[in-house]
Structure 1
């Protein structure tokens, strides 16, 4: 159990919400628009945490270094903007977790590498985020995770010492960023880990297999 905590910060995609269906749909539309066969969500899901890079990699086998990638990325972004909350939902247990944090008077917020272009409209459309007291996007500060700057910015906005914030995420970069910011870290093993991820090597302070398990780690008022 962690020492008294004043705030809990979360990664977004793969930690609080399952956005893989909409991310995959945005990329798959690019394939079908070109007369290519549709791919199942199961192929897109493991790379959902990598955003456009992951989705375009699955859909077309391209990397950011390949010719034509930038045009495809913008097309993907336009597709995603049109559908970003059609199939996206909170993971089972997340709503109950947030309600428990609210009842306990703990502040909470989001620190994501998703750009404000998507983070702002998505969180405004989903009632889950109505009580979030900070939302920091990948371009809110000059650096994205694994740099600690976004996490430190969230703590600054909350006016809470970083050491009294817990950071929860489903990617190694989340744990790296949290540790660099001086925050206790929790690996969300139910998220978009991919086939080769080993949370043991991330050196998080704790690992949870369901969102609700976080409550067992917090000393609630």
Structure 2
């Protein structure tokens, strides 16, 4: 029986894909990387992060600097972001069933809390955890399990990227992959998630079946 739900944030709870593409393109002009065109989006969603970085010509060593700069630009645009339609209802229903929800994201806690407040969701989550490892989310998930004193079978992760699936696989944590976020359905399926859902309604049914 699942008691803890760990939600990813960008792409899963908040619809930020368009903003992140816009911010990336602003930095691409500054650093002379390849810009993302509208016709590139479908292909990029089907590629892993390392494949995207390679295709866009972004030097791996520059990624930490870009992440830091991107977070600042993101913060300046926070008021344009909204929770994915239907996700407020998901959070409310699972809470009413006694399931505790938390957020684990590579975004900053400050950004996350501000968006939750803007969308009237402050106080809806037990914890907001900012993952320090962009390419090693399993380290943060393991730390959370240790803090909660819970086993993999008592929790579930909800995310929208292949890297989320890979992190959960390393720890034996069940995962629900959602198709409305950053990675395509085909890419998500390649990671063999425990569950794949196409709408918040399907996500709610899946989560409630695990209580």
User: TM-score, normalization: structure 1?
Assistant: 0.72
RMSD: 3.7
3-state secondary structure, aligned to 1:155:
helix
Of 117, 131, 148, the residue aligned with 1:138 is 131
Deviation (angstroms), 1:86: 2.5
Unaligned runs of at least 5 residues, structure 1: none
3-state secondary structure, aligned to 2:103:
strand
- Is 1:81 the counterpart of 2:82 in the alignment? no
Structure 2 CA distance for partners of 1:23 and 1:29, relative to 1, 3 Å: same
3-state secondary structure, aligned to 2:123:
helix
- Is 1:11 the counterpart of 2:8 in the alignment? yes
User: TM-score, normalization: structure 2?
Assistant: 0.75
Measured against aligned partners, the alpha-carbon deviations of 1:145-195 in whole angstroms (never above 9, x if no partner) come to 54422112223344433320011111111112112222211111222114x
Q: May I ask how many residue pairs the two structures share in their alignment?
A: 205
3-state secondary structure, aligned to 1:127:
coil
8 A contact 2:5–2:156 mirrored in 1: yes
- Indicate the residue corresponding to 1:219 in structure 2: 209
8 A contact 2:137–2:167 mirrored in 1: yes
- Is 1:172 the counterpart of 2:162 in the alignment? yes
3-state secondary structure, aligned to 1:17:
coil
- Indicate the residue corresponding to 2:140 in structure 1: 150
Of 55, 58, 61, the residue aligned with 1:63 is 58
Deviation (angstroms), 1:106: 0.7
Distance 2:87 2:98 in 1: 17
Distance 1:159 1:220 in 2: 19
3-state secondary structure, aligned to 2:102:
strand
Distance 2:110 2:146 in 1: 22
Unaligned runs of at least 5 residues, structure 2: none
